[in-house]
Amino acid sequence: MTATLVAEDVRRSYGDTVALDGVSLSVDAGEVFALVGPNGAGKTTLVRALTGTTDATGTVSVFGSDPRRVDRERVGLLPQAFDPPKRLTARELLSYYAGLYDDSRDADAVLADVGLSDDADTWYENLSGGQRRRTCVGTALVNDPDLLFLDEPTTGIDPAGRRALWDLLESLADGGTTVFLTTHDMAEAHRLADRVGLLADGRLVAVDDPDALVREYGGESRLVVETDADPAALDLSYPAERSGDSLVVSDVPPEAIGDVVDALAAAGASYDALTWKEPDLEDVYLQLAGNPAGDYAGPDRERAALAPEGSR
Ligand code: ADP
């Protein structure tokens, strides 16, 4: 495959704040790449560096060119903070943005794609938060881009609208559009992305397909028991530790859940709920990008991924 997007050792600081600390990545044509990471990790700065809208050092190439010189007809961009004129209807807005390109799609077709046909004549300021965001996504689609940057496209969109947008992005990717998106929604990243990159403190600490990330960093399946029982008082054959109001028992196969229940009963410990959990991308995120809320982050895992690149 040909790389649509290549970044090598991209760095950007604002005063003493290092927003990007040497990011290298490559995204192939037709690939969906999801960038995840905590607030302040550098995601928006990276999108800006990749789109040539901030001064960064290192090398960025889009379709083989400097991002500032690339044919803008081929690139769509939805910034995180995008605030279009409010006293225009959804259709007028899309028509306005379509008019900025030599070759653009019909505004009504784009409105249909983002599920806004019924609201085409509503002023932007009277649309709901989710409808506004979908209108904004539409503005990034009017030029039928080959490469689409979406910075948190589904923030504020309700679950049904989000799923509709996921379907749309999947069909765009199936049609060959390269998509680079940032998100805080791990289900979204897992569902849409061929590869997920996790950014922490301006560094890409892991990049892989979501299933591989879960296998490598997600930890074991586990049983979460809402109880105040002390693990030391239980006769368990599985590692257990307390996390907040819960007891977390690791490595328990589903068929052995009854053994844990029996151990609780034998110790006279009551419990309110019991949940068996498979590791998922959220566990990967908590494992690699820190866990400020103090929630359970997997048994005995080192925060090795936060170590500088090359030291692992
Ligand atoms: P994210 O999108 O992951 O939340 P950002 O790229 O917005 O992260 O920010 C990365 C870091 O750079 C943060 O510490 C942020 O405060 C800082 N930063 C971003 N943009 C600016 C700016 N224009 N001026 C000063 N600091 C900035």
Give first-to-last CA distance, the chain, whole Å. Answer: 29
Q: Report pLDDT for 290.
A: 73
Domain boundaries, the chain: 3-216, 218-311
Query: Which H or E element spans position 50?
Result: helix 43-50
Comparing C-alpha atoms, which of 177, 207, 173, 206 is closest to residue 191? 173
Q: Report pLDDT for 1.
A: 57
Cα separation of 85 and 192, whole Å?
30
Q: Report pLDDT for 302.
A: 32
Q: List, for residues 153-184, the tens digit of each pLDDT value.
A: 998 888 988 998 899 999 999 999 999 999 99
Residue 60: which pLDDT band, with cuts at 50, 70 and 90?
Answer: very high
Lowest mean pLDDT among 99-113, 213-227, 291-305: 291-305
21 Cα: distance to centroid of ligand 1 (angstroms): 12
pLDDT at 135 over 50: yes
41 within ligand 1 shell (Cβ under 6 A): yes
Give the number of other CB atoms < 10 A from CB of residue 230: 12
Q: Which two tokens stand for residue 127?
A: 């649309």
Please give the CATH number for the structural domain made up of 218-311: 3.30.70
Q: Report pLDDT for 161.
A: 85
Which whole number is the average pLDDT over 93-113? 95
pLDDT at 203 over 80: yes
190 within ligand 1 shell (Cβ under 6 A): no
Give the number of other CB atoms < 10 A from CB of residue 215: 12
Cα separation of 287 and 219, whole Å?
9
Q: List, for residues 260-274, the tens digit of each pLDDT value.
A: 999 999 999 999 999
Q: Report pLDDT for 80.
A: 85
> What is the dihedral sign for C-alpha 273, 276, 281, 284?
positive
Please give the CATH number for the structural domain made up of 3-216: 3.40.50.300
CA 69 to each of CA 51, 52, 53, 73, 75: distance values in angstroms, whole numbers, following the listed order: 10, 9, 12, 11, 11
Q: Report pLDDT for 149.
A: 97
pLDDT at 28 over 90: yes
Q: Which of ligand 1's atoms lies nearest the C-alpha of 45?
A: 6
Long-range contacts of the stretch 241-250 (C-beta < 8 A, 24+): 241/299, 243/295, 243/296, 244/294, 244/295, 244/296, 246/296, 247/271, 248/222, 248/223, 248/224, 248/296, 248/299, 249/222, 249/223, 249/224, 249/225, 250/219, 250/220, 250/222, 250/299
- What's the chain's average pLDDT? 90
43 within ligand 1 shell (Cβ under 6 A): yes
Q: Report pLDDT for 219.
A: 87
43 Cα: distance to centroid of ligand 1 (angstroms): 8
The percentage of the chain sitting over the pLDDT mark of 70, rounded to a whole number, equals 93
pLDDT at 309 over 50: no
Q: Which range has the top average pLDDT, 15-24, 75-84, 219-228? A: 15-24
Cα separation of 147 and 246, whole Å?
45
Cα separation of 293 and 276, whole Å?
21
Burial of 129 (0-12, 13-18, 19+ CB in 10 A): exposed
Q: List, for residues 142-157, the tens digit of each pLDDT value.
A: 999 999 999 999 988 8
SS3 270: coil
Residue 291: which pLDDT band, with cuts at 50, 70 and 90?
Answer: low
Comparing C-alpha atoms, which of 33, 30, 74 is closest to residue 174? 30
Question: To test the ligand 1 pocket, which listed residue (35, 45, 53, 285) has its Cβ within 8 A of the most ligand atoms?
Answer: 45
CA 289 to each of CA 47, 304, 306: distance values in angstroms, whole numbers, following the listed order: 19, 10, 7
SS3 112: helix
Residue 294: which pLDDT band, with cuts at 50, 70 and 90?
Answer: very low
pLDDT at 243 over 80: yes
pLDDT at 38 over 90: yes
